[in-house]
Structure 1
Amino acid sequence: MRRISILLLGLLVFASCKNEPEQKETAEVQDEISIEPVNNDVLESAVIYEANIRQYSPEGTFAAFTKDIPQLKELGVKVIWLMPVYPISEVRRKATGDKSIEDIEDAEERKKYLGSYYAIGDYTKVNPEFGTKEDFDDLVQTAHDNGIYVILDWVANHTGWDHAWLKEHPEFYTQNDKGEPVDPLNPETGESWGWTDVADLNYDNKELWEAMTAEMKYWVDEHDIDGFRADVAGEVPTEFWEQAVPKLEATKPLFMLAESEEKELFHKAFQMGYNWEGHHLKNQIAQGKATVEAWDDYMKKIDTTYQQDDYLMNFVTNHDENSWSGTVKERMGSAAETMVALSYTIPGMPLIYSGQEYDLDHRLKFFEKDSIPRTKGVMWPLLEKLGKLKNSNPALHGGKEAASYKRLETTANEKVLAFERSKNGARVVYIANMTNEPVTFDLKLDGNLPVYHGKTDFKIQEDGKYQFNPWEYVILSDN
């Protein structure tokens, strides 16, 4: 590891330099702070990458993923979100959507079912299938050396059924009339969500707050991680997150991502949430079930719902969507590239999910070993080019000081989406035919922005008349 190399170098110098102790100490301190603390200047232009360690490589290990971290820089990635890395509970482990391993009679058959990452057996250990804590530390250090932050997926709403708290602190769990822990229930109906492999935690117990915060702080203090992605964040009391974050940030600033759009979560605890509604709209438009007018209404809603410094994560896929709702091709078809480009150009932070960069076109198994493709095809160069623009042009800043978003009117507003982003004199324009039929329209464009990507023969016309093929788009940029 790099730390060891620096130490050995220092020992060699010691033999010939009497002031070596001071030099060695300086070298080690510099190595420990190989990346500046999380800050908004970096996050404004960041791309986030969701790493599915189990499925990322044939090995399914930290080490195999770590080797590829330098490549992620080519895609503009500045944050890696690791799906849960903790041991998975054996008891009631999921085998399929509706069966646990206890339902599988054949012993050999049971071995292939690895369970859900979100059924955690111990918050302070790593899944031995992925490697060791030393391997994990090497992953974090490699990311930091490449200017990339690492955040952990944190599951505060529930644990697996063999977590030690079930025996040591049964009072931490939601219980039925018989005093038995239960799996998470729908608060509106009182019925099970079907997450039978996990036990629901009860945040009425304030001792749980202290215990859970301590488990999170362990990873910040001992393993130098840079924040958390909070699973089903809205199912945990907002007050818990608000009390936890200041304690965690006593060590260093963190980046907090909520799997939620609830605006209350952004006030004190989280910087970014999920753009679920925008994502579903992309699917609906791609499938001809909604028009651009619905998108315009959504952007107006965002403007009035959230505070100016709140922002959302934009995506066309993630682990849930890929495994349960379908691949990008299944959901978006010919509109896929247009929607990817849209996710990079609207306010917020774009997400890449493991395999998306390699044109992943199958639903990854959720409870079994699977693997993503490894051949660079259409998507890698597209994401590389979009990532470069996101990283370099202030007009695509999407954090707490996001660039402005201005809708550009056309004569076909229900079919054509056109908008301008701008900040500090920089400009980016996105224009797209959001239908599966050719469209002719008028659009007034100021200036003479060059084509950055998309419709290569696009030229700004004096008469403002344009024709786009189905799902054709163009990105204009002064950078």
Structure 2
Amino acid sequence: MKKLILLFMGLIVISNCKNQSDKRDINPETVAVSKLKFPEKLHGSTIYEVNIRQFTAEGTFDAFSKHLPRLKELGVDVLWLMPIHPISKAGRKGTLGSYYAPQDYTAVNPEFGTMDDFNELLKKAHDMGFYLILDWVPNHTGRDHKWVTENPEYYIRDAEENVTYESMSPTDVWWDTALLDNSNPETRKAMIEAMRFWVELGIDGFRLDHGCGDKIPLYLWEEARASLDPIKDLFWLAECGHETFILDGSYADEFEVIMREIAEGNQKGDALSDWIENDMFKYGRTALRMTYTSNHDLNSWNGTVFERFGEGYKTFAAFVFTSYGFPLILGGQEVGLDKRLEFFEKDSISWDDPKGFQNFYKSLVKLKKENPAIWAGDAGGFPISIEENENVVGFTREVEGNQVIGIFNFSPENQSVEITNEKVFGTYKDYFSGNSFDINNNPLELKPWEYVVFTK
């Protein structure tokens, strides 16, 4: 952001305000029942990831549904359920197996309950104003999915003509999977029909596991959308980096990697603003980029937010919600989840919240929802840099009178910050602490990992 040409920024801001002029009368609190389409109706929303197995001691749809009032109070809008299908037994990892080795695309894991239980959860979620999307695994099935024997032509073969498996690296091998050949039109047809089953039940979209990559042709999603979007308005979120023209949203993987490197002292704060600038420059601003400090993969395999970000965990969380994209909360993160959840065994989340994290995340969700300046995609204000300290990211974002200013110290040391953009000079109250700050020619002093967010 600090390298952007001011004229270029001004033109984009003006264009963005013009494009959004027909949306500013929308109350973010009622966006769930608006007539907007995906992804526009999620611009001010937060997605919430649900691991049914670990969410409660019971690990069932019914037990999870009891948390819906709390999640409504938290303010999240989209519930992403990790895979709920029966898990293959052949080559099963651990005692309970991987959610991502589906045995049957049109059934539910009996450990979670019955199809009636799922339908009841879906109805309750909809009645409360949530959108519910399913985690979908298009890259592979489990090794005892019926297609392996009934439709072997759906699968990729090795040199010996055996159905092969997913292998991310020599040390990351998923023996419990059977790799699908999505270049085969019959495979794609069967996949889309399985997805149709859930769309007709009433779900609101899909999170596509491994959704774009060397084995997943993007024309699969062109065909899927052509077939399924006419049934109902759907949200399509892909676990991939930037394939945003066909789908509604995608992961901002590199964003989290850079945050981790900053926390480790291997990069400066400027790397985050540089990444945002580059991402908008290369891929535009229309589609939603999902940003996060944690998700199920990061938690289980890379560590908790406390392990990865140390004392800066709240700084990075606040930055995710204000700077760019469409934020994700991993189930349990809002109560300070401080353990790596087991992936193949039962490992329930504790909801005690001894440090009061839920209020912090509730304030973040509220901040996002009530300030169009920091909405995702092209609905939000263009981020404009207001300082030049390499350890600090300071920006202003504005949309038709709503302005959010964020200043973040991404270092374990005190920082003196000179505000270079006189247009933001004034007296403000920090959204989180309520403390007053004078922004003027005098340097702003920030403590280690301190951040301030001003709204107007």
Matches for 1:298-447 after TM superposition, within 5 Å = 298-376=275-353, 377-410=355-388, 413-444=389-420, 446-447=424-425
Paired residues of 1:432 and 1:472 also in contact (CA < 8 A): yes
Paired residues of 1:454 and 1:475 also in contact (CA < 8 A): yes
Q: Does 1:180 align with 2:159?
A: no
Deviation at 1:326, TM superposition (A): 0.4
- Classify the secondary structure of the residue corresponding to 2:444: strand
Q: Deviations over 1:290-347 (max 9, x none)?
A: 1022223212211211123122101000000000000100000100000000010022
CA distance in 2, matches of 1:216, 1:451: 48
- Classify the secondary structure of the residue corresponding to 1:404: coil
CA distance in 1, matches of 2:261, 2:433: 23
Q: Does 1:278 align with 2:255?
A: yes
Paired residues of 1:359 and 1:373 also in contact (CA < 8 A): no
Counterpart pick for 1:232 among 210, 216, 223: 210
> Could you tell which deviates more after superposition, 72-81 or 450-459?
450-459
- Classify the secondary structure of the residue corresponding to 2:360: helix
- Classify the secondary structure of the residue corresponding to 1:370: coil
CA distance in 2, matches of 1:38, 1:382: 30
Unaligned runs of 5+ in 2: 1-31
Deviation at 1:266, TM superposition (A): 1.7
Counterpart pick for 1:204 among 173, 176, 183: 183
> Could you tell which deviates more after superposition, 450-459 or 61-70?
450-459
CA distance in 1, matches of 2:33, 2:190: 31
Counterpart pick for 2:124 among 108, 120, 142: 142
Q: CA, structure 1 residues 82+290, in 2 after alignment: closer, same or farther (shift >3 Å)?
A: same
Please name the residue that 2:10 is paired with. none
Deviation at 1:379, TM superposition (A): 1.8
Where in structure 1 do 4 or more consecutive aligned residues deviate above 6 Å? 33-37
Please name the residue that 1:107 is paired with. none
CA distance in 2, matches of 1:453, 1:365: 36
Please name the residue that 2:25 is paired with. none
CA distance in 2, matches of 1:237, 1:62: 33
Counterpart pick for 1:128 among 87, 102, 110: 110
Counterpart pick for 2:264 among 287, 306, 311: 287
Paired residues of 1:34 and 1:144 also in contact (CA < 8 A): no
CA distance in 2, matches of 1:395, 1:250: 32
> Could you tell which deviates more after superposition, 416-425 or 401-410?
401-410
Q: Does 1:213 align with 2:217?
A: no
CA-based RMSD of the aligned residues comes to 1.8
Please name the residue that 1:114 is paired with. 96
CA distance in 2, matches of 1:72, 1:448: 36
Q: Deviations over 1:248-292 (max 9, x none)?
A: 111011000000013xx3222x11100100011111111111102
- Classify the secondary structure of the residue corresponding to 2:173: coil
Please name the residue that 2:60 is paired with. 61
Deviation at 1:460, TM superposition (A): 1.4
Deviation at 1:396, TM superposition (A): 1.4
Deviation at 1:85, TM superposition (A): 0.3
Q: Deviations over 1:31-57 (max 9, x none)?
A: xx9886853442010000000000001
Unaligned runs of 5+ in 1: 1-32, 96-112
CA distance in 1, matches of 2:171, 2:197: 32
Please name the residue that 1:255 is paired with. 235
Letter in 1 for 2:194: E
- Classify the secondary structure of the residue corresponding to 1:459: strand
Q: Does 1:471 align with 2:453?
A: no
Please name the residue that 2:74 is paired with. 75
Please name the residue that 1:267 is paired with. 245
CA distance in 1, matches of 2:38, 2:149: 40
- Classify the secondary structure of the residue corresponding to 2:73: helix
CA distance in 2, matches of 1:385, 1:378: 12
TM score, norm. by length of structure 2: 0.88
Percent same amino acid among aligned pairs?
40
Deviation at 1:185, TM superposition (A): 4.1
Q: Deviations over 1:42-74 (max 9, x none)?
A: 201000000000000111111111111121122
